[in-house]
Structure 1
Amino acid sequence: MMLWLLISFAAVTAFAFRALPFAFKNTPALTHTNGSFYRFVSYSAQAMLGVIIYDTAFNKLDAPSFLQQFQIIDGLKILLLAGTFVVVAKTKKILPSFLASLVIYLLAFVYLNN
C-alpha cells in the first residue's frame, strides 16, 4: 500500500508542476517574474533537473554508498557541476559552460584511465 501511495504522490506532483504553468499562464502570478509563485514553479523544474543530473553523473547512488565508493573522478564531477553552475549563473550562457566542462571531463577521464 505504501508503494502505491508513493507512486501516486510522485505522479500527481510531477503532473502538477508541469501543468500549473499552463493553468495560470495569463494570471499575474506567472507574468510577474519576481513573484513567489513564478519562482516556486521555476525552482521545482530546476530541482527536477538536478535530480536527473545527479542520477546520471553518480549512477543513482545514495549518499552513504557514494561516499564509500568515492573516486577522484567523482570529485572532478562535483567540481565541474559546481563550476558550471557558477559560470551559468554569472554569464547566463549554458552551452559554452557545458562544452567547456565536457572537454575538461573528457580530458581528465582519458588521463585517469590511461
Structure 2
Amino acid sequence: MIGFAAVSALAFRALPFAFKNTTALTRTHGSFYRFINYSAQAMLGVIIYDTAFNKQDAPSLMQQFENLDALKLILLLGTFIVVAKTRKILPAFLASLMIYLTAVVYLYGGQ
C-alpha cells in the first residue's frame, strides 16, 4: 500500500513534466489536463485537511468537535469560495489566517 501511494504520488507530480510539450497538456479543456489538475487539487485538499484537523478521521472529528473546528470549516469553505470567484489565492489565504489567529488569541489568549 505504501509503495503504491509513493508511486502514484510521484507519477502525478512527474507526468506534467513528462508531457509538457504535448497537445494533451496544452489543451486546457482536455480530459488529461483536467485529470492532472484535479489530482493535484485533491492532494492539496488532503494536506489541508490533515493539517487543519490534526489527521483525525471524520468520525473522530465529529465526536470531539469544538467551536474552533467549526471555525476552521467555515474558513476553509469561505476561502474556497473566494478563491473560486476571484482566482486569487494569497489575499483569501491571508484574510482567513488573520481571522483564525484572532479567534485563537481571543479564545486561548488568557490561558
Q: Normalising to structure 1: TM-score of the pair?
A: 0.92
Runs of 4+ that moved beyond 6 A: none
**Counterpart position of 1:42:** 37
1:13-36 Cα deviation digits (max 9, x unpaired)? 011101111111111110000111
**Counterpart position of 2:102:** 107
**Which of the residues 55, 66, 71 maps onto 1:71?**
66
SS at match of 1:15: helix
CA RMSD of aligned residues (A): 0.8
**Counterpart position of 1:3:** none
Unpaired runs of at least 5, structure 1: 1-5
SS at match of 2:65: coil
Aligned residues: 109
1:34-92 Cα deviation digits (max 9, x unpaired)? 11100100111111111111111000001111001100000000000000000001001
- In the TM superposition, 1:1-114 aligns within 5 A as 6-113=1-108, 114=110
- 1:111 CA drift (Å): 1.6
Distance in 1 separating the partners of 2:56 and 2:36: 27
Distance in 1 separating the partners of 2:98 and 2:19: 40
Distance in 1 separating the partners of 2:51 and 2:17: 29
SS at match of 2:15: helix
Unpaired runs of at least 5, structure 2: none
